[in-house]
Amino acid sequence: MNKERKLIIAGNWKMNKTASEALALVKALKLELTNIKEVDVVVCPPFTALAEVAKAVLESNIRLGAQNMSEQGNGAFTGEIAAGMLKEFSVRYVILGHSERRQYQKESNELISKKAHAAHAASLHPIVCVGETLAEREGGQMEKVLETQVRGSLAGLTAEQMDDTVIAYEPVWAIGTGRTATTAQAQETHAFIRKLLVSMFNQAVSRRVRIQYGGSVKPSNARELMGQPDVDGALVGGASLDARSFSEIIKNSI
Give catalytic residues, as residue numbers.
98, 170
**62-70, 85-93, 143-151, 229-237 -> range binding ligand PGA (CB under 6 A):** 229-237
Q: Is 7 helix (H, G, I), strand (E, B) or coil?
A: strand
Chosen residue from 176, 207, 220, 229 binding ligand PGA by CB under 6 A: 176
Residue type, 59: E
Considering the rule CB under 6 A, would residue 226 count as an interface residue with ligand PGA? no
Binding mask 185-214 for ligand PGA (x = CB under 6 A): -----------------------------x
Question: What is the closest distance, in whole angstroms, from the C-beta atom of residue 217 to ligand PGA in the complex?
Answer: 5
What is the spatial distance between Cα 133 and Cα 55, in angstroms, rounded to a whole number? 38
Q: Are 208 and 252 in contact (CB under 8 A)?
A: no
Q: Give helix 219-226 / helix 183-200 axis angle, nearest 10°.
A: 50
Residue type, 204: A
Residue type, 118: A
Question: What is the closest distance, in whole angstroms, from the C-beta atom of residue 156 to ligand PGA in the complex?
Answer: 25
**27-35, 57-65, 143-151, 232-240 -> range binding ligand PGA (CB under 6 A):** 232-240
Query: Given the complex with ligand PGA, which of 166 and 205 has the nearer CB atom?
Result: 166
35, 36, 53: which is closest to 44 by C-alpha?
A: 53
Burial 111-144 (b: 16+ CB within 10 A, else e): bbbbbbbbbbebebbbbbbbbbbeebbeeeebee
Binding mask 1-40 for ligand PGA (x = CB under 6 A): -----------x----------------------------
Considering the rule CB under 6 A, would residue 216 count as an interface residue with ligand PGA? yes
**Alpha carbon 73 to chain centroid distance?**
22
Number of residues that bind ligand PGA (CB under 6 A): 13
Considering the rule CB under 6 A, would residue 217 count as an interface residue with ligand PGA? yes
224, 245, 215, 98: which is closest to 166 by C-alpha?
A: 98
Considering the rule CB under 6 A, would residue 171 count as an interface residue with ligand PGA? no
Question: What is the closest distance, in whole angstroms, from the C-beta atom of residue 235 to ligand PGA in the complex?
Answer: 4
Q: Are 181 and 215 in contact (CB under 8 A)?
A: yes
Query: Given the complex with ligand PGA, which of 103 and 202 has the nearer CB atom?
Result: 103
Chosen residue from 170, 172, 173, 193 binding ligand PGA by CB under 6 A: 170
Question: What is the closest distance, in whole angstroms, from the C-beta atom of residue 11 to ligand PGA in the complex?
Answer: 9
Q: Are 142 and 136 in contact (CB under 8 A)?
A: yes
Considering the rule CB under 6 A, would residue 126 count as an interface residue with ligand PGA? no
By DSSP bridging, strand 7-12 and strand 39-44 are: parallel
Site residues for ligand PGA per CB under 6 A: 12, 170, 175-176, 214-217, 235-239
